[in-house]
Amino acid sequence: MKKNKQLLFLIFLPALAIFMQGQSARELSVLNKESTISDALVHLGEELPNHARPEADSAVIKRGYELVTLGRTIGPDGKRSKYISKYYVCTSCHNLEQENPDLSKVDPQARLEYASQKGQKFLPGSGFFGIANRETWYNGDYEKKYGRLVEKARNSLAEATQLCATVCSSGRLLEDWELEAILAYYWQNQIKLKDLELSKQEWEQLRLAENKKLAVDLLKSKYVQSSPATFGQTPANFLNGYEGIEGDFENGKKVWELSCMSCHQTDGVSTATFDNSILTFKKFMRHLNQDHPYNLYKISRYGTYADKGKPRYMPLYPKERLSDKQLEDLRVFIEQKSQK
C-alpha cells in the first residue's frame, strides 16, 4: 500500500511539472501576432468599449461590409435594404485598409506614398482600419464645421457613424440592425499586434503584463487613438502659393490621381468630371486667383457645403489629410499640365 502511494507520487510529480510548464507556456502565448488590440487590452485588464461586437457572426459582419462598400445589403428580413445615401457610399471618402505605414504617426506624405505603393485611394476621411481602436472621433476642427452635432459623436463610434451617414454622406439615419452590422464590421477590422512594430522586449512586456499600466501605455504609444484634423488656410497670395514651399510635380500627380480623380473621374461621385485634357488644367489655372469654384486652394481647403437641392458636396481636406506641401505639389502638377 505504502509502496503504491510512493509510486503514484513518482508518476504524479513529473506529470504536475509538465502540466505547470504547459500552463505557463499557454499564459505566454495568450497574445500572438494575430491578436487584436482589444485582445491585448483585455489581457492587460482593460474593459471593452461600448462599440465592441465580439459576438457578431460572419453574416452580420458581411452585411456591415456591404453597407459600407455598396450602401445597401440584404436585411435580416431577407429584403434588399434602401441605400444609405443616394450620392455616396462610405468608401467614397473612407478607405478600409491600413493607410499609414507607422500607425503611431499622422504623416500625410507617408500616407500618400503608402497609398501609391498599395494602389489605394488618398481620401479626405480617415480610414476604417482600426477605427474601433480609436477613442475619440470627429476630432479637432470638425467641431467648427458640424458644431453641436459633434458633441455626441466625439465619444461614441455609433454616434459618429450616424452623424456621417446622415450629414457627411447626405443620407439617412441608419436602422438599428444596420448600425449593428457596421459596428460588427469595424470590430473585425481592428489593428492586430502584427501591424505594430513591436520589439522582442516589448512583446514580453505585453505578454507577461507584470506592470499593466506600463504595458497599456506601451501598447497605446504604438497607434494613434484619434485622427486629428486641423483646417488649413488658403495662402495669403494665391499666385505665389504657400510661402517658402516648393511644389513637386510627381508628388502632385499622385494627389491628383489617387485623390481628386477618385471622385472626379467619369462615373465618380461628383457630377463635375475631370478628364486629363489640357482644358481641365487650364481651367484651374485661369481661376487660381479668383473667387470661383475652380480656385484650387479654396476648393481643397474649404470644400463645398451641401445645400438644399444640391446635396452633393465636396469634403474639405484638413492639413493632416493633405498638407500645404502636397497642395503646392498639386498646383505645380496642374500648372505644368496646363502648359503642354
Interface with ligand HEC (CB under 6 A): 68, 84, 88, 90, 92-94, 124-126, 131, 134, 137-139, 142, 157, 160-161, 164-165, 168-169, 182, 227, 229, 259-260, 262-264, 269-272, 293-294, 296, 299-300, 304, 312-315, 330
The Cα 16–Cα 19 span in angstroms is 5
Cα 204 to Cα 27, 29, 207: the distances in Å are: 11, 10, 5
**In this structure, what C-alpha cell is assigned to residue 83?**
441605400
Per-position b or e across 79-97, b if 16+ CB within 10 A of its CB: eebeebbebbbbbbbbbbe
Q: Are 72 and 83 in contact (CB under 8 A)?
A: yes
Grid cell 481636406 — which residue? 317
Q: Which three cell numbers stand for residue 249?
A: 510635380
Amino acid at 56: A
101: left (phi over 0), alpha (psi -120 to 50) or beta: alpha
Please state, in angstroms and rounded to a whole number, the distance separating the CA atoms of residues 58 and 51. Answer: 17
Q: Give me the least distance between CB of 60 and ligand HEC, in Å please.
A: 15
- Give the whole-angstrom CA distance, residue 113 versus residue 99: 10
In angstroms, what is the minimal distance from the CB of 243 to ligand HEC? 20
Task: Name the minimum Å distance from CB 128 to ligand HEC.
Answer: 7
Query: For residue 122, how many other CB atoms are within 10 A of its CB?
Result: 25
End-to-end CA distance of the chain: 102
Residue 130, class by beta-carbon neighbours within 10 Å (0-12 exposed, 13-18 middle, 19+ buried)?
buried
Task: Give the rounded distance of the alpha carbon of 333 from its chain centre.
Answer: 27
CA 110 vs. chain centroid, Å, equals: 15
From the number of C-beta atoms within 10 Å of its C-beta (0-12, 13-18, 19+), residue 187 rates as: buried
